[in-house]
Amino acid sequence: MSQRSVDIAVVGAGPCGLAVGAAATSADLRTVLFDRGPLCSSIVGYPSYMSFFSTPENLEIENLPFVTEGRNPSRKEALAYYRGVARYFDLDVRQYQEVEAVTKIGAEFELRTRTQSGELERWTAESVVVATGGFAEPNYLGVPGEDLPKVSHYYKEAHPYWNQDVLVVGGGNSAVEAALDLFRVGARVTVVHFGADFDPGVKAWILPDIQNRIKNREVAVRWRCRVAEIHPRTAILRSENGGAIDEIPNDWVLALTGWRPDPVLLRSMGIEVDDETGIPVHDPLTMETPISGVFVAGVLVAGIDANKVFIENGKLHGRKIVERFVETR
C-alpha cells in the first residue's frame, strides 16, 4: 500500500474532469486525476466514425486551441486533442485506476483506488471533484431476450450489419445517426420508438435525411411502439395504441435508449442524489456539494438528462471549482 497527497483529486478523466485538472494546475495546485478506463473513455466508446455537433472552439479546454480539418471534430481528432490537453497542462492522469471509495479523515479526504494490476493505492486530498460522467449504465429495455448476444446498447460502426435485419430502439441522436449509417451500408433497418416522432433534440441537419429515408421506405419505422420480447431470429413489438403485437424477422437489436450516471460513489460519500432526476445536491454557482471540499463536475450534474450538460458547458465547472477551492482553503 502506498500513500500520496495532493490538493485536488479528480475522479474521472473525461473532458470535464480534464477541465478541472487544467484549471487546477494553472493555479499551481497539486492535482491528480483517476480514470477507471483510458483518458476520455466515454468518447472512446462512441461510434468510431462519429463527428461532434460542436465546433472545435466550443470543445476547447482552458483556451488551448483545438484545430481541426473540418467544421465538426471527429472522434479521433477529439481524442488526440484531449491527450494534448493532458500533456500541455502536465496533468497527472492515472488511467485504468478506479476510485472505489472516498472517506473524510479529519480535514482531508482519503481515496481508495485500485490499479489495473489490482493493487490498492491510498491517496489523500484537501478536496475531491467527482466527474464520473453520465454513461455508467444503459437504460435497459427490461424485456425477455435482452441478454441475448445479438442485443447491444453500444453502436460502433455499420459494416458488421451489412445485409442484416437490424432493429434500432430509440428516438434520439444516437438512434437516428446509427439508423442512417446502417441504411447506407445496406442493412435492413427498422426504428422502433415509444414516441410519435423523433426526440426534439435530434440535430436539425440530420432530421430531413432520416425523414426522407422513411418517406422513401428505405428505413422502416414503428412509432408509438415498444420491444416486448427478443428471440434468436425475431423480435416482438407491442403497439402503445391498444397493445397489438407484431413479430418481425430480426438479426440484431441496437438499444440506443440513453444512459444514466452511477450515484453509488456520491451516495457512499454522504451526498444526496435525487431519485427521480439523478441530480446530486450541489450549488450550481460553485459546484460544491453540502460536504465542504467535495465538488461535482461535468455531465454527472445533469443526472439522467444528459442533454442539459455536455462538454461545451460542463467544461466551465473547472474554473468555478478552483476559484471556490482557492477562496475557501
Binding residues vs ligand FAD (CB under 6 A)? 11-17, 34-37, 40-42, 46, 50, 52-54, 98-99, 131-135, 174, 265, 298-300, 310-312, 314
Judge contact between 82 and 105, C-beta under 8 A.
no
Shortest approach of ligand FAD to residue 4 CB, angstroms?
A: 15
Per-residue cell: 247: 413479430
Q: Please give the distance of CA 320 from its chain centroid, rounded to a whole number.
A: 22
Residue 230, C-beta contacts closer than 8 angstroms, at least 6 positions apart: 143, 144, 145, 146, 148, 150, 151, 236, 250, 253
Q: State the Cα–Cα distance between residues 307 and 201, nearest whole angstrom.
A: 8
Q: Which is nearer to ligand FAD, 174 or 250 (CB)?
A: 174
Shortest approach of ligand FAD to residue 27 CB, angstroms?
A: 19
Shortest approach of ligand FAD to residue 240 CB, angstroms?
A: 26
In 3D space, the residue among 28, 16, 202, 5 whose CA is nearest the CA of residue 108 turns out to be 5
Query: Which of helix, strand or coil describes residue 320?
Result: helix
Shortest approach of ligand FAD to residue 141 CB, angstroms?
A: 19
Judge contact between 15 and 312, C-beta under 8 A.
no
Per-residue cell: 302: 445533469
Q: State the Cα–Cα distance between residues 81 and 77, nearest whole angstrom.
A: 6
Q: Which is nearer to ligand FAD, 237 or 254 (CB)?
A: 254
How many residues appear in the chain?
Answer: 329
Q: Which is nearer to ligand FAD, 123 or 325 (CB)?
A: 123
In 3D space, the residue among 106, 143, 101 whose CA is nearest the CA of residue 122 turns out to be 101
- Give me the half-sphere count of Cα atoms (radius 13 Å) on the Cβ side of residue 76: 4
Q: State the Cα–Cα distance between residues 288 and 104, nearest whole angstrom.
A: 15
Q: Which is nearer to ligand FAD, 12 or 303 (CB)?
A: 12
Q: Which is nearer to ligand FAD, 12 or 145 (CB)?
A: 12
Per-residue cell: 25: 494546475
Stated as kind and residue range, the H or E segment containing 265 is helix 264-268
Shortest approach of ligand FAD to residue 284 CB, angstroms?
A: 15
Q: Which is nearer to ligand FAD, 59 or 225 (CB)?
A: 59
Q: Which is nearer to ligand FAD, 128 or 227 (CB)?
A: 128
Shortest approach of ligand FAD to residue 97 CB, angstroms?
A: 7
Shortest approach of ligand FAD to residue 298 CB, angstroms?
A: 2
